[in-house]
Amino acid sequence: DATTEELTQAKTDLETAIDGLETKAAAELAAAKAALTEEIAKAQTTYDNAETYNDALKNAAEALKTAIDAAQAVADKTDATAAELQQAKADLEAAETLFDNTVTGISAIIAQYGENIQVYTTDGKKVDLKNGTLRKGLYIINGKKTVIK
């Protein structure tokens, strides 16, 4: 049978362990909230600076804004769990990736350089623009290096 001292020590040890778990959970929650808040700011900057000169980019920007709003709603929840915050961040990152990978087509180049466009690969081959799009990569467009994302 346990003595009063042993029971008191066991109770103290258990309370210390619970406090440690609560502190760890609070730290994880704070870290998840901070990470989501940072990602929201990044996504908002991307959205604010987005050039939406074609329908594909307009649609992608609208989807990004919807994801930003959804993530902000989770960040604003006072009872949000770390798992909810982490999922909201992952969903927002997916929307950012979708936006970044949206095919802009030749309209992006025309918007920047006008109708008379000379496009070459980095090894000097002229690029045929008949299909209206360029794959991701590095090109020489009207004498300037340009990255197509």
More confident residue, 9 or 56: 9
What percentage of the chain carries pLDDT values higher than 70? 85
**How is residue 126 annotated by DSSP?**
B
Phi then psi for residue 3, to 5 deg, are -85, 165
Average pLDDT over residues 3-25: 85
Rounded Cα gap, residues 148 and 29, in angstroms = 38
- Comparing 123 with 67, the larger pLDDT belongs to 67
Segment 118-145 mean pLDDT: 78
Tens of pLDDT, residue by residue over 35-48, are 999 999 999 998 88
pLDDT score, position 130: 63
Tens digits of residue pLDDT in 73-109: 999 999 999 999 999 999 999 988 888 777 555 555 5
Phi, psi dihedral angles at 143 (to 5 degrees) = 85, 5
Task: Name the more confident of 67 and 115.
Answer: 67
Q: State the Cα torsion 3-8-11-17 to the nearest 10°.
A: -110
Average pLDDT over residues 130-144: 75
Q: What angle do CA 57, 113, 106 make, to 5 degrees?
A: 40
Query: What is the greatest pairwise CA distance in the chain?
Result: 93
32-41, 54-63, 114-123: least confident range? 114-123
Q: What is the pLDDT of residue 132?
A: 62
Bridge partners (DSSP) of residue 146 are 139
The answer, yes or no, to whether residue 53 has pLDDT greater than 70, is no
| The pLDDT value given to residue 103 | 54
